[in-house]
Structure 1
Amino acid sequence: MNLFLDCEFNGFGGELISMALVDGDGNYFYEVLPCLEPINWVKENVLPMLDKQPVQPDVFKKRLMHFLGLYPEVHVIADWPEDLALFSRALVVGFGSCMVTPPLTMQLWMDRTIPVNSERPHNALSDAQALAKSYLLISQ
């Protein structure tokens, strides 16, 4: 199953703030993590767009593992390298331990031939939905 990924993070190289994965049928995972020291740009442009209360990292990881487990295999598609890096880091659950997932592949897809604009820029769920629409339009 293709899952379209978007993440919001606290500035260049910063910690994960929110993550969304959307499948082609519209099912989704969307969670928000606490951001204790947001940079000014994030305070002004990302935090007001979250539309969800933060959960603790262990809850985030349990919900992510549950969502990924709904599929027999997963192909994660993102349009920015840091999103894939943050997703990969989220799979780590402890020292020397990662979550069990279905067979998983990842793709960096940066085709802007038919861009679909996000209805709520800097909201990971809205951005992931726009990515899915763009990808599906081009794939048809």
Structure 2
Amino acid sequence: MKLFLDCEFNGFGGELISMALVDENEKYFYEVLPCMNPTSWVFNNVIPILNKQAIDLKEFQKYLFNFLNQYETIHIIADWPEDFSLFLTTLILQHGTCMITPKLTMELWESDTSLKIDSKIPHNALQDAFALKRSYFV
């Protein structure tokens, strides 16, 4: 199953704030983590449009595990490398232990420059993941 990934994070190289994965049938995972010290840009442009209450990392990982493990295989598509980094970090449960997932591959995808990834709510991970999916299948 193709899953389209988008993350919001606290400034360049900052911690994960929200993650969305949208499958080919538009079933989705979307969760938000606490962001204690957002940059001013994130405070003004991301936090107001999260549209979901933050949960702790353990709960986030439990929901992610349940979402991912409904598939036999997963092919994750993102248009920014940091999204993969943040996703993979959430798979680490503790020192020496990671989340069990179905067979997983990844694709860093750049849309044709003539195509614009048009999100209904830019900088909202869920809406951006839906937009990535729409753009991918054009």
TM-score bin (small chain):
over 0.9
Which residue does the alignment assign to 1:48?
48
CA distance in 1, matches of 2:100, 2:128: 26
Aligned length: 137
Identity of aligned residues (%): 57
Q: Residue type matched to 1:125 in 2?
A: L
Q: What secondary structure sits across from 1:6 in the alignment? A: strand
How far is 1:44 from its partner?
Answer: 0.2
How far is 1:116 from its partner?
Answer: 3.3
Is 2:115 aligned against 1:114? yes
CA distance in 2, matches of 1:2, 1:115: 20
How far is 1:62 from its partner?
Answer: 0.4
How far is 1:3 from its partner?
Answer: 0.1
CA distance in 2, matches of 1:116, 1:60: 27
1:97-108 matches, cutoff 5 A:
97-108=97-108
TM-score using structure 1 length? 0.96
Task: Return 5+ residue gaps in structure 2 as ranges.
Answer: none
CA distance in 1, matches of 2:77, 2:42: 24
Taking only aligned residues, the RMSD between alpha carbons, in angstroms, comes to 0.7
CA distance in 1, matches of 2:28, 2:104: 17
CA distance in 2, matches of 1:17, 1:40: 14
How far is 1:38 from its partner?
Answer: 0.3
CA distance in 2, matches of 1:39, 1:27: 31
Q: What secondary structure sits across from 1:126 in the alignment? A: helix
Off by >6 Å, runs of 4+ in structure 1: none
How far is 1:115 from its partner?
Answer: 2.3
Which residue does the alignment assign to 1:20?
20
Q: What secondary structure sits across from 2:37 in the alignment? A: coil
Q: What secondary structure sits across from 1:4 in the alignment? A: strand
Q: Residue type matched to 1:8 in 2?
A: E
Q: Residue type matched to 1:16 in 2?
A: L
1:1-140 matches, cutoff 5 A:
1-112=1-112, 113-137=114-138
CA distance in 2, matches of 1:24, 1:106: 15
How far is 1:114 from its partner?
Answer: 2.4
Task: Return 5+ residue gaps in structure 1 as ranges.
Answer: none
